Amino acid sequence: MIHVSQLTKQYAGRVAVNGITFDVEPGQFVGFLGPNGAGKSTTMRILSGYLPPTSGLVKVGGKDVFRDSLEVRRQVGYMPEMAPLYTDMKVKEYLHFRAALKGLSGRELRTRTGEAMELTAITDVRRRLIGNLSKGYRQRVALADALIARPQLLILDEPTNGLDPTQIRQVREMLRNLTPSHTILLSTHILSEVELSCDRVIMINKGQIKADDTPLNLTRGLRTAGSVYLELKGDDKVEKELNSITAVKKVSIDRTEDGWQAISLRLESNADVRDNILELAVKHKWKVREIHRQLPSLEDVFVELAAGDA
Segment 275-300, tens digit of pLDDT: 999 999 999 999 999 999 877 777 77
Average pLDDT, the chain: 87
List every span in the chain annotated with CATH 3.30.70.3100.
Answer: 227-294
What's residue 278's pLDDT?
93
β-strands 76-79, 153-157: how paired? parallel
Q: Which fold has domain 227-294?
A: Alpha-Beta Plaits (3.30.70)
Indicate whether 224 pLDDT > 80: no
pLDDT mean over 3-25: 92
CATH 3.40.50.300 residue window(s) in the chain: 2-220
Tens digits of residue pLDDT in 297-309: 777 777 766 665 5
pLDDT digits (tens, 9 = 90+) for 231-252: 999 888 899 999 999 888 889 9
pLDDT of residue 87: 93
pLDDT tens digits for 63-90? 998 888 888 888 899 998 778 899 999 9
Please name the fold of domain 2-220.
Rossmann fold (3.40.50)
Percent of the chain with pLDDT over 90: 45
Mean of the pLDDT values across residues 175-204? 85
Residue 145's pLDDT is what?
A: 93
pLDDT (mean) for 157-177: 80
